[in-house]
Amino acid sequence: MSHNKIPDFTETELWAVRSTLKERYGKEVEPQMADTEVMLGGADGMAWCPALFWSAKGANFTIVKTGPKRFRAYFYYHPEHQLGTGIDSYDEIGDCVISVLQVESDHIRKQKISTDQTPAQTDKDAPEKPDTSPLFWGD
């Protein structure tokens, strides 16, 4: 396990995350600070890394700082099924946050389209499913 201390999030990085979340959700969303053990790969192996966590609209998000100016992003609805952005590491936290929010939003949209394309229910008394589409920037 790596004993290298990965620096905590800077005030500038925290501001970038808070500002992006406020723009996305139209209200203050305060990410919680945490530490998480992640596989960094190579000679570094496992390491404890600072992380930011928040929940919004039924999803949970994590940004992990894996080094100075190195970030990873995940989101999930259930802890056993985490999804990423498809990019292993970002060097700008703003890009990381925007990317994970967009990928999660696209995931919800695809799920909704898939659900909408299934055959209609035959039980007329079944309640309609609520619209779980997230608000998009510019809506």
d(CA 100, CA 27): 18
Task: Assess contact for 74 and 66: CB atoms under 8 A.
Answer: no
Beta bridge mates, 58: none
55-93 pLDDT, tens digit per residue, is 998 899 999 999 999 999 999 998 788 888 899 999 999
Pairing of strands 59-67, 70-78: antiparallel
- Digit-coded pLDDT (tens) for 87-131: 999 999 999 999 999 999 888 888 777 666 555 544 455 455 444
pTM of the model: 0.74
Q: Using an 8 Å Cβ cutoff, are 112 and 132 in contact?
A: yes
Identify residue 86 by its one-letter amino acid code: G
